[in-house]
Structure 1
Amino acid sequence: MTSQSQEILDACTSGHVAALQRLFEANSIQGSKPVYISSADGPPPANSMLGAAIMNGHLDVVSLILRTYSETKVQFTGKTIEALVRHPNLDILQALYDYDRTVVSFEWDNHTDTFVTKACEQPPEKITSLLHFLIEHDADLEAGYFPRTLCNAILGGQTLGVIEAMVNKGATLSTQVMRQAVVCERVDVIKFFMDTGVKGDANDAAYLRSEAEETGNEDVVEIVQQWISDGGWVIDDGKLSGGPRVAQRLKRFFTGRD
């Protein structure tokens, strides 16, 4: 990396907007195309600059970078999103959203991790406001080859309000999600599912009862029993589906037994 590239990154880190503006002008970066790979004679990658600014909470620097690349827009990478997940800042997120509204549905190349699922891995006291922003601004909650937004939210201990908001926005309530609530002993989430009318079939009911009993938590066992006794858990012997139910397949996966 050249000394000028390092100076640019240092200005992004320190929040020295005037110095950064001068460096952009001196290196003819204003109005140029963003770069994504470090080179011996070019500017730092755009997402490296954004990441440095985001990690240090410099909204004015982020805004300058986005204005600098107003003609050919920056394609955000995991570096930028990861920085925002680890250092949540709603003002910066709003700036990124105003620049490119698809940012809320960012998906990593593995097609399993998304902005939302990564955010769910952070402590709720740190990330709740950011998650609500993503949900309210129509983040894709079903992205990826195997959507797991609700599972990640429950596993990450996210608030009931976040989980309710996800469900209200159409996140899939699968058997795996129901199981996650049970094994994580989230009585509040189970009650929400029950009050919302979420049900499966008789096999699902038996599976969830078994999982509840294995937790050893009397409150979980009691609420699950209320839930599955609420009617509507229909009998399905597998003939219609042509094979084992989702609950059976999940139990085999997690426990190695039927």
Structure 2
Amino acid sequence: MAFIDLNSDVGESFGNWKMGDDAAIFTSVSSANVACGFHAGDPSTIRQTCRDAVAASVTIGAHVGYRDLAGFGRRFLDCSATELADDVLYQLGALQALARSAGGEIKYVKPHGALYNTIVHHEVHAQAVVDAIKAFGEDLPVLLLPGSVALAKAEQAGLRGVAEAFADRNYTPEGTLVSRREANAVLHDPAAVTENMIRLATEGTLTAVDGSTITMPAESICLHGDTAGAVAMAAAVRQGLEQAGVEIRSFV
């Protein structure tokens, strides 16, 4: 692969509660998954994040989630398809307004947390997310886990499905993410993470939690901005990829 996208979850601070260092992350990534206010982020934080992304020439994406501020969007909500589709559409409209005020535009969508993981298998919620993106009217690409139900539904609806991998997360041998409820879900060693991401970008494979090799076709790599050492890890991954001859650029 001659190039790959690096994305990060940003705009997740809320009032006096601060999450991550978005401005620092923007020096390493090419795409920004901006919170839309339902799992994290307040209007002023979101608007400033969009300004910073535009200034750094980082592509803006909508990081939509379940309506779950208290749980940071990491809890499944048993809502109807209509309610979920309306919630996602609402988030897209809010972020688009704030992005445009900052001189930017939404260029893609990435579901967050429990919503992202749920629509790997959940037919109804996967369809609701796709329906909301179609209703938004701009046929935005959507970042999803390879092999997910949502990825298939997006492509069936004429949307561009973009497969991604997670730099700082462990994978099961089946190619799904190790649950955050387990102690080894998150990776913290920048050298090991960088080595794994170089293998992903150049060979299309990753090392799973049990040491096995799994095939992982991905156009984008997610670097979470809220994990400990996130800024240093993002810089290490970018440097390692570039030294391996992989260009970092947005997929849109």
TM-score, scaled relative to structure 2: 0.31
- Higher-Rg structure is 1
**Could you say which structure has the higher strand fraction?**
2
**Could you say which structure has the higher helix fraction?**
1
TM-score, scaled relative to structure 1: 0.30
Greater relative contact order, per chain length (Cα 8 Å cut-off, separation 6+) = 2
